[in-house]
Amino acid sequence: MAAAGVAPALALLAPWAAAQSSAQFLPSPAQFDQLFPERIAFYSYEGFAQAVRQTPAFAARGSEQQKRQEMAAFLGQIAHESDQLKAQREYRRENWGLYCRQGPGESCAPGQQYYGRGPIQLSWNYQYKAAGEALGLDLWADPDRVARDATVAWQTALWYWTTQPGVAPQSAHEAMLAGKGFGATTRAINGVIECDQGADPNTLRKLNRRIDFYRRASSLLEVPLSEPLGC
């Protein structure tokens, strides 16, 4: 994910251990397996479902179609971010030491690196710190817990999705509720790197890959696409 400011967790999403909303939409285990046939064991359906239940606002608001559209958008985005749930850690090791932002009130723990981990590839020291504070954990001192603890990995992905806007006006969760389309979720996740870059071939490839995964998820969940698809 691109560097951006970190928004505070939304009060409506706390506490993380809240009971599942009766209105929440969840894909079936068979649908999850069909969408991620090569996923590694770390990313289990049970872990995913548990994290969803602990995030009561996610895929729980608006019409049934809106709930399914949000779920499809989330699944499409994590399919791209985590290489279809095969990557616990960012593949490009040469980038691992690049995610330390220093500034007022910001620093990096000695010996720690803040490269992408988990379903949404949480990145940067300040995001690990904020995610840990929301979850009651010290992920600033131990960022690799996101790649070792599957429960935490899923929780950080849903924390980012529901509360963090990145460089966008609102989080991916809020954008879907407002009908802003799938493209707005890409802007919230990786807007600096992938949005507003013109016709750069590599950027277009990444954007189209996200859209392709979203199309698959939407088809599987039998829900119309939320447009615009591009950011």
Hey, what are 26's tokens?
A: 């969840």
- pLDDT score recorded for residue 7: 55
* Per-residue confidence (pLDDT) for residue 48, from 0 to 100: 97
Q: Which one-letter amino acid corresponds to residue 222?
A: E
30-88 pLDDT, tens digit each: 999 999 999 999 999 999 999 999 999 999 999 999 999 999 999 999 999 999 999 99
On whether the CB atoms of residues 72 and 217 are closer than 8 A, the answer is yes
Query: What predicted TM-score, i.e. pTM, was given to this entire model?
Result: 0.90
Most distant CA pair in the chain: distance in Å? 48
Q: Classify residue 172 as exposed, middle or buried by CB count within 10 Å of its CB (0-12, 13-18, 19+).
A: buried
Is 81 catalytic? The answer is yes
The gap from C-alpha 83 to its chain's centroid, in whole angstroms, comes to 13
Does residue 12 register a pLDDT over 50? no
Domains detected in the chain: 11-85+152-220 (1.10.530.10), 93-146 (3.30.20.10)
Work out whether the CA dihedral 17, 6, 229, 192 comes out positive or negative: negative
Which listed residue (81, 90, 174, 194) is catalytic?
Answer: 81
Contact between residue 85 and residue 41 where contact means Cβ atoms under 8 Å apart: no
Distance CA 155, CA 127 (A): 13
pLDDT digits (tens, 9 = 90+) for 204-230: 999 999 999 999 999 999 999 999 999
pLDDT at residue number 16: 36
Report d(CA 95, CA 130) in Å as an integer.
21
Residues 6+ positions from 168 with CB-CB distance below 8 Å: 175, 184, 187, 188, 191
DSSP for residue 98: G
For 17, the token pair is 């251990």
